[in-house]
Structure 1
Amino acid sequence: MAASGNAENNSELRIFGGLDDLATDLAEYIAQLSEDSVKERGFFTIALTGGSLIYLIRKLSEAPYNKTVDWAKWYVFWADERAVAKNHVASNYKLTKDGFLSKVSILNSHIYSINDNLTVEEAAREYEFAIRQLVRMRTIDVSEHNDCPKFDLILLELGSDGHIASLFPHHKTLERKEDWVTYITDSPESPPERITFSIPVINSASNVAIVAVGTDKAMAVQFAVDLNTSFDAFKLPARLVNPNEGKLVWFMDKPAASFLDSADES
């Protein structure tokens, strides 16, 4: 690890010299949260996105984690998903299944993907209903701050425009406070129809991790992390991530952190 520090909102910054080091530390971080959550609650609830995250968590399917993680206690969700068929190349479910889920022993009944036979609005409502049922059963914990679901970990990836999940700059979904799961039909990135967790749900998680990799993320990282700088958060949704009761950890490579002072630490 090249550097570690704290941002102004008490989030932790972890900066790595290479992707292999980042992936190794990310795997250890997730495995430790899994162990702690299973000991405390009997479950581990994790919400993923797609993209390079799936490549980076691949080490969890390797030794020692493939044998030491209590996979039967995992419940897997998606913080955002594209409204496409599950076998579509753009599906986060397909990407995650091919790159990770098929390599570990998580129970199929504990994997919650959207219904791709519904409209995107219907799919969002049904997904939220499924989460509400699990909250009632206390499989997913509940936030005392706002009664939102309190996932053990929400794992996100930063876009070069500062978006997280499918929450894009200046999009009306950023203002939706009542929905746990909302939807969009006009995503600036293809495909246009997606479901996404809302900001209140993300900020209710016990732990939020944001991964940022590459030079094209450097400016977004700087404005997301430096909260002393005056900046319209609706221009950069990642800046809105500030867990109410939980902890935020950033996992970055040096190019993504190149505009931060801590990137020069040794």
Structure 2
Amino acid sequence: MNEIVPIVPSHAVSINDSVSAEEAADDYEFLIRQLVRTRVVKASQISDCPKFDLVLLELGNDGHVASLFPNHPALNEREEWVTFITDSPIPPPERITFTLPVINSASNVAVVAEGENKAHAVLLAVDEIGPDCLSIPARMVQPANGKLVWFLDRLAATNLEVSDLKN
């Protein structure tokens, strides 16, 4: 069964890459707020954040998701929906990203990880292995009223036990 999902062009919002990261984050947040204000995107009942149907994230080797890196101040942003960084530990140095409250307001969040180089980050994100795991951004992805699903290949799941995979 092949169904085509119609995408209204005005609902596809791209990032303005001709301005600074700070300006791009402000512009993008403004556009998302307009979509919420006009009810194109629903608002979360728990917060004022947009409630996207799906947020798709890739896990980084260090446990980062989106452009939220371990021990970075952007992890603590609670007021803004979109934030920026100018000191990314991996290229490119300037990025914009949704904040954790926006990610955690989604109806569905999918985290994708592939490769042996992601196995330790997957373990830190999903297993109770000590205080070091608390600063892992992927571990902070916990949709309040939504579902979190991990998609792992065999190599990324190498360090997990069967009980970890069932939870």
Say yes or no: TM over 0.5.
Answer: yes
Q: Which residue of 1 aligns with 2:144?
A: 244
Deviation of residue 223 (structure 1)? 1.2
For residues 131-186 of structure 1, give each alpha carbon's deviation from its aligned partner in whole angstroms, at most 9, with x where no partner exists: 00100111111111111110000000000110000001111100111110000001
Cα distance per residue 1:84-135 (max 9 Å; x no partner): xxxxxxxxxxxxxxxxxxxxxxx44332111122211111001001000100
2:111 match: 210
For residues 75-114 of structure 1, the aligned pairs below 5 Å read 107-114=8-15
Amino acid in structure 1 at the alignment position of 2:38: M
Structure-2-length-normalised TM-score: 0.92
CA contact (8 A) 1:140 1:151 kept: yes
Q: Which 10-residue stretch deviates more, 115-124 or 193-202?
A: 115-124
Q: In structure 1, what is the equivalent of residue 4 of structure 2?
A: 69
Contact 1:223 1:239 in 2 (8 A): yes
CA contact (8 A) 1:207 1:246 kept: yes
Once the two structures are TM-superposed, the CA of residue 191 in structure 1 deviates from its matched residue by: 1.1
Give the secondary-structure state (helix, strand or coil) at the position aligned to 1:125: helix
1:199 is aligned, of 100, 122, 140, to 100
Cα offset for 1:230?
A: 2.6
Does the Cα contact within 8 Å between 1:223 and 1:231 map onto a contact in 2?
no
State which of 107, 111, 123 in structure 1 corresponds to 2:24: 123
Q: Is the aligned partner of 1:138 residue 2:138?
A: no
Corresponding residue of 2:160 = 260
Identity %: 58
Q: Which runs of 5+ in 1 are unaligned?
A: 1-63, 75-106
Deviations 1:175-208 (A, max 9, x none): 1111100000011111111000001100000000
Q: Could you tell me which runs of 5 or more consecutive residues in structure 2 were left unpaired when the two chains were aligned.
A: none
Equivalent residue letter for 1:151: F
Normalising by structure 1, what TM-score?
0.59
Aligned match of 1:162: 63
The CA RMSD measured in Å over matched residues stands at 1.8
Q: CA deviation at 1:242?
A: 0.4
1:160–1:263 Cα change, 3 Å: farther
- Secondary structure of 1:258's counterpart equals coil
Q: Which amino acid aligns with 2:159?
A: F
* Displacement of 1:261: 1.1
Length, aligned pairs only: 165
Dislocated runs of 4+, deviation >4 Å: none
- Secondary structure of 1:142's counterpart equals coil
Letter in 2 for 1:252: L
